[in-house]
Structure 1
Amino acid sequence: MKYQKYLIELLRNSSIDSGNIHEASKAVLQAFVKAMYLKDGSIWLLDDNGSMVCSFILDMHEKSINHFSAMDEMQVKILFQELGSNAYLVLNSKQATSAYWVSNVDLINHSVIYTPIYHKGSIVGFLQGRRQNHQAGFDEKSIPFTSALANLFGRAILATQNNKLQHALKNANLDLQQTVLKRNQELKKTLEDLQTAQGHLVESEKMAALGQLVCGVAHEVNTPLGVAITSLSILGEEIHKLKTSYDSGTLDEPTFMSFIEHALSAHDIAEVNMRRAATLIHEFKQTSADQSHRVLVTLELKTLIDSIIASLTPIYEPHQVEFVLDIPDALYVTTYSESIDQILTNLVNNTCIHGFQASNQRHNLIFIKVFVQGKDFVIDYQDNGVGISDSIAKNIFTPFFTTNRSNGGSGLGLSVIYNLVSQKLAGEIRVIEQDASLGAHFQIRLPITLTEEFN
């Protein structure tokens, strides 16, 4: 009953499982010394060098821990051999000679009990209790009590280690959080730097594209303007000659008729080239999809395409073009009809100029197929003309790119289509890769219901 009382008190002591190793050792040693009527009780623990060190002591004379010298590795080995598989080891004056390895206990005047402390299946220390020889020896009934005390202290060691692990884990988590926060800040800064660099790159690309566009416009417009200026200069010289002849009184009919001939020629050349420049500027303006006068309308697509094709008769009739249409009935779309008109007009005009003029086909055909995909409709446009090579296809939507400049091609027709599709109609256009001998093939994807928000 005496031992049970002390054990119950210890089981209720929060220090055992709280990880407070100092309070736990104090509670265990108080129960050990009081219940066993010991002179002193101590707790010995293995250190990192394999020595057994007195870590805690409760002495009726309040001796310090340094009262006992550490047991070296050899002494510990002998102690473990003496313990064997037993739950305890008792030494007294009878073993004073044979237990030569015991250096911290005067066995002539004391008896001592060693009870191993286990942690995770291994001995990590022991409880040591000393009595003076005039006291009664250690009885069998006290052994389970000392073993229970040793096990309770083993629990305290486990709780202490768990606390250390939890503390280390908490610190590791804090370090991880700090690392993650630091990395996030670094990533955020990197992302901001990338976005800034991307913005600069986009602006640089825009400026480069604008530069190319301006150079293209200048080159295309300067040519006819240069010819017109030259013609006007020649006309000016002819007028000066005419005035000189008139002032000198030598103006005759042949001279006057020669002037008329040169003046009319210079005028015609200047007019043609000025009109050419005006046409180029007009086409260049069309490459911008921002044409605010256009309004959204809902209409049947088949009816719209039929009317567009009918209006293009003067363009394709000289080439004897036949249209093959596959357009579903009652397909209503909300879009800018003028933009659809301009897209098909430019495609048909491009086919007639580039595809059919040099074609050897007996029958010139244009295929237009329309089908629905999800919320979009697709205009599949194909001809059986000359076709588009890979080298041309990659530049085909670039402003002023043309293979027909010698015959007056401006290189703006497909560029206008691209801008209308991508900017005005919220769609996309692509060249379908195929053998050039099969003709040109385009696919245009557009939303069935276009909204004002896009523009």
Structure 2
Amino acid sequence: MRETLELILLRVSQSEDIDKGELEVASRLIINSVCEGLELSRAGIWLYDETQSLIQCRLLIDKGNDLDSENLALSRADFPHYFEALDYERSIAAHDANTDPATFEFSELYLSPLGITSMLDVPIRHRGKMIGIICCEHQGKARTWHSDEIVFAATLADLYGRAVSANERADYEAKLIHANQTLEKNVRDRTAELESALKTLEAAQDKLVESEKMAALGNLVAGVAHEVNTPLGIALTSVSNCKEELKSIYKDFENESLSEEGFKEFNHICLEGLNLAESSLMRAANLIKDFKQTSADQTSLEEEEIVLDDYIPRILNPLKPMLRKENIALSIDIAPHLFITTCPGVIAQLLTNLISNAQRHAFDGYTLNEKNRVCVIGKKTNNGLSISVSDNGKGIPAELHKKAFEPFYTTARDKGGTGLGLNILYNLVTQKLNGDIALISAPNEGTTITVTIPVD
């Protein structure tokens, strides 16, 4: 190959315009190079349609007529011999284009009017498939296409195939960038939606947790109110009776009919009545004190050191009236000197939840031959401290053990159950106390829930 042609090929192959993805720029570079190397004034790029029944001009440079684009198309039906030659996918070197078997069909309509005497068509391949041609058109005296000229044109056609690949790659990268930008926006939007939904869910969860806590306190209030009414009623009756006795003795005093024996009887009756009133009022006062401690603890999360064998009986005392209404006996067995630094409110709330849960579910519609019992046991273990609440109720089937701690799962929804009691308990134990919780139960064998709290 002549050195001039080699230098042109080297320049084109090294040009950034071939690989930067701008096909229009690469096309003009290649056709201008064809014209330069083959000393032509007219050359173009023609591409097949999808069915290869039509070939259309994508770029035509005609320097003689100062033309650099022209909308032309050739169909297989109009030029069957030309398309048949193209089907071989080899270069067509028509030294005399007017008589060549592949190009003579263009003579009258195309070649003669434009003064084209010789044609060189080289195939453009992309990914191994012929997609079109570079058409080199010589005007003037007919010429013979030399082998190095054919190789030169074919090499430029291959470079056009490379430019097509670069253009596809650039389009793909642009689409990928757009897709990434769209994806990032979608992710941001979706994240914002999820964050908003999470905040709404957390707010709803807080309300539900607070509602469940208040429901437990409501049960306490009802039980305490019922229990306090009894000693208050006794005290009120005793005081009223003392008042009547005082009026009677004062009347005898005024009438000067008061005897020593009558005064002693008055003294005995009033002393007995006042003692009964005092003990009843003390009972009510202690009950209210314990209730206030329990309710205050359940709303406080401050840590302090407590002794469980003293603290637990105190906070469970207000629960006894609630259980007594259901004929449930509460027993407490806490090992002595169990010190722990923790949030007393969490201990109060988890025991309230556990015992309320047993009161609601363990004996519902279940008849025992023995008395209904709930037992609270606290002791030291190798892993820390354990507090267990056991009942001798109807028990829980094995297939429901895992669901028991799931939020909103309840078997008493028709009776107002929310299914949050044990879930709140689970979260308190695992998150606030960093402990573990275990459930052991079987039908007709009662239920035991054990909380293990690590102790440093």
Q: Shorter chain as normaliser: what TM range? A: 0.5 to 0.7
Q: CA deviation at 1:370?
A: 5.3
Deviation per residue, 1:377-421 (Å, 9 max, x gap): 557899xxxx632479xxxxxxxxxxxxxxxxxxxxxxxxxxxx9
Q: What is residue 22 of structure 2 aligned with on the other side?
A: 20
Label 1:431 to 1:188 Cα distance change in 2 as closer, same or farther (>3 A): closer
- In the alignment, is residue 87 of structure 1 matched against residue 90 of structure 2? yes
Query: Bigger CA drift: 89-98 or 191-200?
Result: 89-98
1:162 correspondence with 2:169: yes
Question: Gaps (5+ residues) in structure 1?
Answer: 298-303, 305-322, 326-331, 347-357, 361-365, 393-420, 450-455
| Contact 2:35/2:43 (<8 A) preserved | yes
The aligned residue for residue 36 of structure 2 is: 34
3-state SS in 2 of match to 1:38: coil
* Distance across 1 between alignment mates of 2:8 and 2:431: 89
1:129-172 CA-partner distances (Å, limit 9, x unpaired): 11135132323332212111110111111111111111111111
Rounded to whole Å, the distance in 1 between the matches of 2:112 and 2:306 is 110
For 1:203-226, what per-residue CA distance to the aligned partner results, in whole angstroms no more than 9, with x for missing partners? 333444444433333332232112
Query: Matched residue of 2:47: which SS?
Result: strand
How does the TM-score come out when normalised to structure 2? 0.64
The aligned counterpart of 2:9 is 7
Of 218-227 and 423-432, more deviation after overlay is shown by: 423-432
Distance (Å, rounded) in 2 between the aligned partners of 1:111 and 1:291:
98
Once the two structures are TM-superposed, the CA of residue 60 in structure 1 deviates from its matched residue by 2.1
Distance 1:369 1:257, change over 3 A: closer
- Matched AA of 2:382: V
Q: Give the CA RMSD over aligned residues.
A: 4.7
Match of 1:15, SS?
A: helix
Give me the whole-angstrom Cα distance separating, in 2, the residues matched to 1:251 and 1:40: 149
Displacement of 1:368 in angstroms is: 9.2
Tell me, in whole angstroms, the C-alpha distance in 2 between the residues paired with 1:59 and 1:98. Answer: 19
Partner residue of 1:142 out of 149, 153, 157: 149
Question: C-alpha displacement at 1:443, in angstroms?
Answer: 4.5
Look up the match of 1:57.
60
Task: Report if aligned partners of 1:68, 1:104 keep a CA contact under 8 Å in 2.
Answer: no
- Equivalent of 1:100 in 92, 102, 105: 105
Structure 2 residue aligned with 1:284: 291
Q: Residue in 1 aligned with 2:392?
A: 388
Distance 1:198 1:97, change over 3 A: closer
2: CA distance, partners of 1:390 / 1:215: 25
Residue 218 of structure 1 is matched in structure 2 by 225
**1 CA distance for matches of 2:274 and 2:121?**
128
Secondary structure of the 2:254 match is: helix
Provide the aligned length of Structure 1 versus Structure 2.
Answer: 364
1:259 deviates by: 4.5
**SS of the residue aligned with 1:94?**
coil
Does residue 448 of structure 1 match 2:455?
A: yes
8 Å CA contact 2:19, 2:162 repeated in 1: yes
Percent identity, aligned pairs only?
Answer: 29
* Post-superposition CA distance 1:223-272 (Å, at most 9, x none): 21122112211221232233334434555678667655653553343233
Give the corresponding residue for 2:312. none
Shift of residue 7, structure 1, vs aligned partner:
1.1
Aligned letter for 1:182?
Answer: D
The CA distance in 2 between the partners of 1:128 and 1:167, in whole Å, is 31
Counterpart CA distance in 2 for 1:17 and 1:426 is 62
Q: 2:392 corresponds to which letter in structure 1?
A: I
**Conserved 8 A contact 1:96-1:107:** no
Cα deviation code 1:37-74 (max 9, x no counterpart): 32301111235786432221222224435545222464
Aligned AA (1:5): L
1:372 corresponding residue in structure 2: 382
For residue 99 of structure 2, give the secondary structure of its aligned residue in structure 1.
Answer: helix
Q: CA deviation at 1:78?
A: 5.7
1:259-408 map, 5 Å = 259=266, 262-284=269-291, 287=294, 335=340, 371-373=381-383, 376=384, 378=386, 388-390=392-394
